[in-house]
């Protein structure tokens, strides 16, 4: 599954940036199907919900807001069970926002966990973190892991590449107003890495060169797709999902620290002429 998805993602970059591969755009899967593809393909209906004069940082206000949304926009039904009129949500409604909003909404719902009915417990609401905020937090994790001003001399590091292309609006945090420049920078670095790999893999000098192994024509779209898939999968297997033990250890979280040198440290002798200071211990 991961291998096939990498194939499509790498293939998009190759088709977009290499002249000889633009002919494969009609056999490339531009949208990876998933279990919600049919739902996502439907036209979105946007309905203004108005404004509530509440502060989500205040617990009482957040409870009031969630109760209002639960009452207005979550359908409930009543079933006669054991002589009691018990309300149940017909559907669960997603309440999305940033992480803080989700946390506050969860707290507001938990505050009503001991109420008698599903309606009063607001069981029809499902607080989630919106995709945009998930993307923002994911980018921030990437920057915290790979972006460091101390790596400016490390060729190919995030900070080094940031200086090379003079992206002064890229900072160490990808949150808030920094999201768009940092997100664009991540995409550009990824595309550039794939371009460099393809140039090396096919022994090309420029993005306009024709690979020697590419046929001059194809008899059918099936033949074209088979050849293209084989080439991209070869790149994925060689440069991304390689079979090295280090790679599998990294996936399993078992990447070992580099072996420590067993050499006995030698004392450092002062190089100043006529210095009589004894050697420094290391």
- Between 264 and 261, where is the model more confident? 264
CB-based contacts of 128: which residues, under 8 Å, 6+ apart?
94, 95, 96, 102
Q: How far apart are CA 158 and CA 189, in angstroms?
A: 8
The pLDDT of residue 273 is above 90: no
Bridge partners, residue 280, by sequence = 268
Query: Taking the model in full, what pTM does it have?
Result: 0.66
What's the whole-number mean pLDDT along residues 43-49?
82
Q: How many CB atoms lie within 10 A of CB 182?
A: 26
pLDDT digits (tens, 9 = 90+) for 59-91: 999 999 999 999 888 888 876 555 555 678 888
**Run of H or E including 261:** none
Query: What is the pLDDT, as a whole number, of residue 50?
Result: 80
The answer to whether the beta carbons of residues 174 and 134 sit under 8 Å apart is no
The answer to whether the beta carbons of residues 66 and 114 sit under 8 Å apart is no
Q: Enter the tokens of residue 108.
A: 């507001």
Spacing of C-alpha 121 from chain mean position: 34
Q: Would you list the DSSP string of 266-282?
A: PPBPP-STT--PPPBP-
What's the whole-number mean pLDDT along residues 264-280?
62
Q: How many CB atoms lie within 10 A of CB 178?
A: 19
DSSP state of 178: G
The pLDDT of residue 37 is above 50: yes
Spans of all domains in the chain: 2-38+133-245, 59-129
The answer to whether the beta carbons of residues 71 and 82 sit under 8 Å apart is no
Main-chain dihedrals φ then ψ at residue 95, nearest 5 degrees: -115, 105
Q: How many CB atoms lie within 10 A of CB 109?
A: 21
What's the whole-number mean pLDDT along residues 6-27?
91
Q: How far apart are CA 141 and CA 147, in angstroms?
A: 10
Query: What is the pLDDT, as a whole number, of residue 221?
Result: 87
Q: Enter the tokens of residue 146.
A: 């790979």
Give the pairing of strands 93-97 and 125-129.
Answer: parallel
Query: What is the pLDDT, as a whole number, of residue 110?
Result: 93
Which of 272, 207, 279, 270 has its CA nearest to residue 17?
207
Q: Enter the tokens of residue 240.
A: 């991304």
Query: What is the pLDDT, as a whole number, of residue 257?
Result: 46
How much of the chain exceeds pLDDT 90, in percent?
Answer: 27
HSE at residue 138, side-chain half, CA atoms within 13 A, is 9
Nearest-5° angle of CA 230, CA 21, CA 7?
40
Q: How far apart are CA 97 and CA 111, in angstroms?
A: 19
């Amino acid at each position: 599954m991961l291998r096939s998805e990498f194939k499509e993602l790498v293939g998009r970059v190759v088709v977009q940036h290499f002249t000889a591969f633009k002919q494969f755009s009609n056999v490339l899967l531009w949208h990876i199907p998933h279990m919600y593809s049919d739902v996502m393909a439907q036209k979105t209906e946007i309905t203004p919900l108005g404004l509530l004069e509440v502060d989500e940082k205040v617990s009482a206000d957040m409870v009031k807001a969630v109760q209002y949304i639960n009452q207005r926009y979550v359908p409930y039904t009543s079933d006669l069970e054991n002589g009691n009129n018990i309300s149940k949500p017909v559907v669960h409604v997603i309440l999305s926002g940033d992480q803080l909003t989700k946390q506050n909404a969860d707290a507001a719902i938990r505050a009503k966990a001991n109420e008698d009915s599903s309606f009063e417990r607001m069981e029809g609401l499902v607080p989630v973190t919106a995709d945009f905020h998930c993307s923002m937090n994911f980018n921030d994790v990437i920057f915290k892991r790979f972006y460091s001003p101390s790596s400016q001399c490390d060729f190919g590091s995030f900070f080094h590449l940031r200086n090379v292309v003079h992206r002064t609006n890229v900072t160490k945090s990808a949150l808030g107003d920094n999201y768009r420049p940092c997100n664009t920078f991540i995409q550009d670095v990824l595309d550039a890495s794939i371009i460099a790999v393809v140039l090396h893999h096919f022994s090309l000098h420029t993005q306009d060169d024709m690979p020697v192994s590419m046929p001059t024509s194809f008899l059918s779209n099936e033949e074209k797709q088979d050849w293209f898939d084989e080439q991209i999968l070869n790149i994925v297997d060689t440069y991304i999902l390689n079979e090295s033990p280090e790679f599998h250890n990294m996936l399993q979280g078992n990447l070992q620290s580099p072996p420590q040198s067993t050499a006995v440290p030698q004392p450092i002798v002062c190089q100043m002429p006529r210095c009589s200071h004894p050697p420094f211990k290391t």
